[in-house]
Amino acid sequence: MNLDRFYPIFDHSDWLRRMLPLGVKLVQLRIKDQADAVVREQIAVSRDLCRAHGAVLVVNDHWQVAIDAGCDWIHLGQEDLDDADLKAIRRAGLKLGVSTHDDDELERVLAMSPDYVALGPVYPTILKKMKWKQQGLPRVTEWKARVGEVPLVGIGGMSVERAPGVLQAGADIVSVVTDITLNADPEARVRAWIEVTT
């Protein structure tokens, strides 16, 4: 299955309600610091919204809830990998995307046969305090050569203006958070994203 090249990340199903009708076909739900009941409800609602719009939903971190809800994709950060039951995830048929930031992490992840590898931050990001400096476009090219056929997601400091360069450097997919969620007109920004990644 080919994944869309535009991959926004949102923290609530309300965002999906707004953005899926615009043509978003690949989206991550990243819920942090919420009660289990809220997480379950948000994932179920998001799953149904994505199915109604023919979009792929990737659930961040909450792999057991994703399995229970019959979701198709899970995304794990490096710290999540330590606690996740990868065999259970694979048994349930979930596809797996994983974050990487350095050589050791990439080697670890490639051994898991991931369904995509994310590299970040490509540019400085305001979203997370990270110990890694920006990776830069040459690193995107290097990573793509190493992952081969596995889709490579570029993330971190992404904007509509930067997206073409990241794709030209070798990324298959560009993932974005604040360039949309902090924009004065998120809908217009999503339309611009879709245009630049199509």
d(CA 183, CA 170): 27
d(CA 37, CA 6): 29
HEC profile of 180-196: HHCCCCHHHHHHHHHHH
For the chain, the C-alpha Rg in angstroms (whole number) is 16
DSSP-derived 3-state class of residue 111: coil
Catalytic residue numbers? Answer: 30, 99, 128
d(CA 141, CA 143): 6
